[in-house]
Amino acid sequence: MAPTLDAPLKTGAVIGILGGGQLGRMLSVAAARLGFKTCVYEPAGDCPASHVANFHMHAAYDDVQALERFARSVDVITYEFENIPTSALDILENLRPIRPNREALRISQDRITEKDFLTSLGLTVAPYANVESAADLDAAIAKIGTPAILKTRRFGYDGKGQARIKSPEDAAQAWVDMADAPSVLEGFVDFTHEVSVIGARSADGDVACFDPGENVHRGGILHSTTVPATLTASQRMDAVLLTANILNALDYVGVMGVELFVTRGGLIVNEIAPRVHNSGHWTQNGCAVDQFEQHIRAVAGWPLGDGVRHSDVVMENLIGDDMDRVEAIARESNAALHLYGKADVKAGRKMGHVNRIKKG
């Protein structure tokens, strides 16, 4: 039997976080503000979360002894990314509660499983088909048509592991790009814009959603999130209710990001992420309780906090050379800088973000 948390965690309890990137860093800061300690498990040495967490377990995901030591030194385990190896979870789940639960991870680790699940809830997703060979891809294109996008079923992020198919002639090259990885063909959605909802569910089953944010991507990577998003009242309601539907169906505990395409025919779910989400960073300066604290509260068995938006915010990611602008941004009024402490600037690497408050 997997262990459970029977009572809310008290000050001084240790929250274990799998993954030591910027999300783990901001989760650690939020945990510290509530009096918790954090232990980050991350194979890379000088990682963003290690600068602020109490403990850093610097070990690989196949190091059984390190995983056991980590689990025994924490009260509850959470994570900042969804692609945690199943073998590591098998070890951890026998020792400490994992929040959000493994079912949420299982579903979100595979794009087909995720789309099947969302469809089973009555939600709309892009037309999709499983592709495991060049012949499958031809058949999928015949069924779905073009334009379409071929994506690896697993391990994709920030637009990686994706190939656009404008016409059937692009199929052969697209399949080569996937390097034989099981994939999904998705029909291209003719959306007007993209929004996301950051939802939270407590261990008691209470659900609270942050105001939807409007997302702009550049080169497959999130560039900015603006709140409030351009949505009608009924679209806003729909976005929040479908997020609650997903959270409840999974008996979820923690924060989840739900990415949506806004089309003339309604909202289409692009993908779900069982963790705090880049498009929720605006909450740090737009709400009394941000997504990181909300997640820590949920994971610790606490009640959810007040995530009502008090300000309009535009969040801009600082990627690669955007770091050259930090000095100028630091002089702006109403701009809150959040830098991740990454030593090396690389093209496409998320180095930090800025939240510009538009209205007090």
Residues interacting with ligand AMP, by CB under 6 A?
Answer: 126, 149, 156, 159, 186, 188-189, 194, 217, 220, 259, 270-271
Shortest distance (Å) from residue 356 CB to ligand AMP: 22
Buried b (16+ CB within 10 A) or exposed e, 206-233: ebbbbbbbbbeeeeebbebbbbbbebee
Q: Closer to ligand AMP by CB, 155 or 288: give it.
A: 155
Q: With respect to ligand AMP, which residue has the nearer C-beta, 170 or 259?
A: 259
Indicate the residue whose CB is closest to ligand AMP.
189
Q: How far is the CB of 158 from ligand AMP (least distance, A)?
A: 7
- What are the DSSP calls for 132-175, one per residue? SSHHHHHHHHHHH-SSEEEEESSS--TTTTEEEESSGGGHHHHH
**Distance of closest approach, residue 273 Cβ to ligand AMP, in angstroms:** 9
Q: Which is nearer to ligand AMP, 75 or 170 (CB)?
A: 170
The beta-strand segments (E) located in the chain are 14-18, 37-41, 55-57, 76-79, 128-131, 148-152, 162-165, 183-187, 193-201, 207-209, 213-218, 221-227, 254-263, 266-273, 312-319, 335-339, 350-359
Least CB distance to ligand AMP at residue 170 (A): 15
Nearer to ligand AMP, 170 or 293 (CB): 170
State the helix-helix crossing angle for 291-299 and 22-33, rounded to 10 degrees: 70
C-beta of 8 vs 168, nearer to ligand AMP: 168
SS3 state at 29: helix
In the complex, the smallest distance separating the C-beta of residue 203 from ligand AMP, rounded to whole angstroms, is: 29
Say if residues 104 and 164 touch (Cβ distance below 8 Å). no
Between 104 and 253, name the residue whose CB sits nearer to ligand AMP: 104
Q: How far is the CB of 195 from ligand AMP (least distance, A)?
A: 11
